[in-house]
Amino acid sequence: MNGENTDLRETVRRRYAEAALKVAEGGTACCGPEPTEVDENFGSTLYGDDERGALPVEAVAASLGCGNPTAVAGLREGERVLDLGSGGGIDVLLSARRVGPTGKAYGLDMTDEMLQLALANARKAGAANVEFLKGTIEAIPLPANSVDVVISNCVINLSTDKPDVFAETFRVLRPGGRIGLCDVVADDTLTPERRAERGDHVGCMAGALSFAEYRRGLEAAGFTDIEITPTHAVADGMYSALVRATRPRQSAAAQLPVPPAGP
C-alpha cells in the first residue's frame, strides 16, 4: 500500500474511532460529511422501527450506513454471514436474529473502538451466535469458502484497494454464496474529480465507484448475476445503491468441457 493510501486508511480509522467514542459517551454517529452529523440519507433512520427497537440504543446510535443490507440479503435460518466494516454492530446483530441459533454472524472491523462498542452491544443484546474480528476488508481473516453471505453498509467506498475487497469477498464465500451490499455509487458521467467535489473520502463520496466501475470490479473478481440498484440520492449524481451478486457454484474453468484423452 502506498503512502497516500496508508494516510487515507488512517484518516478513516481515526474518524470512525472518534465516532465510536462519541456513541460510548451517549452521542450518535453517522456517515456523510461528518460522522456525528445526522443526515436522513445515512444512519439509523434507514431501519424499521421494529429493528431499531429490538437492539441496544448504542448499536442504533452507531449506525453509519447508507442503507439496510440485512433487508435485501435474503438471510435464511442456519446461514453464516459476514459484515464487512461492522462498526457498532447493528447489521451483525440484525443478521444474527435472522439466521437464528443454528447460524452465525461475523463482524469485521479495523477500529478497536468500534470493536469494543460492538462487543458491548452484543452482550447487551444477548447475542450468542456472533463473533467480531479485527482486520481489514482487503485481507479478511477467515478461511476460503467459509460463509454463505457477505453484507456491507457504506464501507467498500472507503477502501483504497477495491479490487482486493472484491477478490477477498469472493474467496471467503462458498460456491453459490451471495453478496447483499449497500454502498454509495456515482453516475457513470461523474469523474473522480467531480465525485470529490461532493465530499471527501472519509465522508463516503470521493472514494465511490461509478455504476460501471462497480460492475466491472465484481465481474473481474468472478461474480455473476450482478444487480446494482440505486435507492435514494445522497448528493448530486451520487446514490445509495443495493448491490447483489453471486459466486458461481463452479468456476468458469471448472465448467469447460474436459478435452479427450490423447492416443
Domain coverage including residue 7? 3-248
Cell of 32: 456523510
Mean predicted confidence (pLDDT) in 94-107: 95
Cell of 126: 444477548
Residue 255 lies in a domain: no
- Return the pLDDT at 202: 73
Residue 263 lies in a domain: no
Domain of 43: which CATH number?
3.40.50.150
146 compared with 54, residue with greater pLDDT: 146
The residue written with cell numbers 443454528 in the block is 102
| pLDDT surpasses 60 at 253 | no
Distance CA 45, CA 65 (A): 10
Q: Are 164 and 193 in contact (CB under 8 A)?
A: no
What DSSP assignment string belongs to 58-70? HHHHT---SS-GG
Residue 94 lies in a domain: yes
Q: pLDDT confidence of 31, banded at 50, 70, 90?
A: very low
pTM of the model: 0.82
Residues 6+ positions from 117 with CB-CB distance below 8 Å: 20, 23, 24, 58, 62, 87, 88, 89
Q: Residues 36-95: pLDDT tens digits?
A: 333 554 544 455 555 555 555 555 554 555 667 787 789 999 999 999 999 888 889 999
Residue 258 lies in a domain: no
The residue written with cell numbers 447475542 in the block is 127
Q: Residues 230-246: pLDDT tens digits?
A: 999 989 999 999 999 99
Distance CA 85, CA 65 (A): 10
| pLDDT surpasses 90 at 200 | no
The residue written with cell numbers 438471510 in the block is 75
Cell of 252: 468458469
| pLDDT surpasses 60 at 259 | no
Q: Residues 159-195: pLDDT tens digits?
A: 999 999 999 999 999 999 999 999 999 999 999 999 9
80 compared with 207, residue with greater pLDDT: 80
Dihedrals φ, ψ of 151, to 5°?
A: -120, 165
Distance linking the first and last C-alpha atoms of the chain: 50
Domain tally, the chain: 1
Q: Are 115 and 183 in contact (CB under 8 A)?
A: no
Average of per-residue pLDDT values in the chain? 82
| pLDDT surpasses 50 at 35 | no
